A and B are shown apart, each in its own frame.
Chain A
Amino acid sequence: MADSAKKMPLGGVIEKAGSADDYFTGDWRKLKPVLDGEKCTNCLICWVMCPDSAVIVEDGKMVGFDMEHCKGCGICAVECPDKIKAIDMEEEVS
Chain B
Amino acid sequence: MSIVKAATKAVAYTGNSAVAYAMKQIDPDVCAAYPITPSTQVVEEFSGYAADGEVSTEFVTVESEHSAMSACIGAAAAGARVMTATSSQGLALMWEMLYIASGLRFPVVMATVNRALSAPINIHCDHSDSMGARDSGWIQLYSETVQEAYDNIFQAVRIAEHETVLTPAMVCLDGFITSHAIESLFLIEDSKVKEFIGEYSPKHSLLDIENPVTYGAMTLPDTYMDLKHEQSRAIARAKDVVVQVGKEFGELTGRTYGLMEEYRLDDADVAVVVLNSAAGTTKVAVDELRRKGMKAGLLKPRLYRPFPHEEIREALKGVKAVCVLDRADSMSGFGGPIFTDVRSALYELPEKPPVVGRIFGLGGRDFKVKDAAAVIEDLFKVAETGKVDALTKYIGV
Contact = CB atoms under 8 A, between A and B. Distances in A.
Contacts of B105: 10-11
Contacts of A11: 103-106, 166, 215, 227
B22 to A, nearest CB: 26
Contacts of B166: 10-11
Interface string B104-117: 11100000000000
Interface in B209-253: 211-217, 219, 223, 226-227, 229-230, 233
Given A5-B230, A11-B105, A11-B215, 12 more contacts: A5-B233, A6-B226, A8-B226, A8-B227, A10-B230, A11-B104, A11-B106, A11-B227, A12-B104, A12-B215, A17-B214, A19-B214
A2 interface: no
A10 B217 CA distance: 12
B93 to A, nearest CB: 23
A8 B219 CA distance: 12
26 contacts: A5-B226, A5-B230, A6-B226, A8-B227, A10-B166, A10-B203, A10-B230, A11-B104, A11-B106, A11-B215, A11-B227, A12-B103, A12-B104, A12-B215, A12-B216, A12-B217, A12-B227, A13-B104, A13-B214, A13-B215, A14-B213, A14-B214, A15-B204, A15-B211, A17-B212, A19-B214
Interface in A1-54: 5-6, 8, 10-15, 17, 19
B212 A12 contact: no
Given A13-B204, A15-B204, A17-B212, A8 B217 contact: no
B76 to A, nearest CB: 10
Q: Is the interface of B mostly helix, strand, loop or mixed?
A: loop
A14 B212 CA distance: 9
A14 B217 contact: yes
Interface in B164-207: 166, 203-204
A12 B106 contact: no
Contacts of B226: 5-6, 8
A8 B223 CA distance: 8
B345 to A, nearest CB: 20
Contacts of B217: 12, 14
Interface in B66-114: 103-106
A13 B227 contact: no
Contacts of B211: 15
B215 A5 contact: no
A33 B104 CA distance: 38
Contacts of A5: 226, 229-230, 233
A74 B103 CA distance: 35
A12 B213 contact: no
A5 B204 CA distance: 23
Contacts of B219: 12
Contacts of A15: 204, 211, 213
A10 B103 CA distance: 9
A15 B368 CA distance: 55
A13 B223 contact: no
Contacts of B204: 13, 15
Contacts of B227: 8, 11-12
B213 A8 contact: no
B223 A12 contact: yes
A17 B230 CA distance: 23
B137 to A, nearest CB: 11
B270 to A, nearest CB: 36
Interface in B96-152: 103-106
A6 to B, nearest CB: 5
Contacts of A13: 104, 204, 213-215
Contacts of B106: 11
A5 B223 CA distance: 11
A71 B226 CA distance: 25
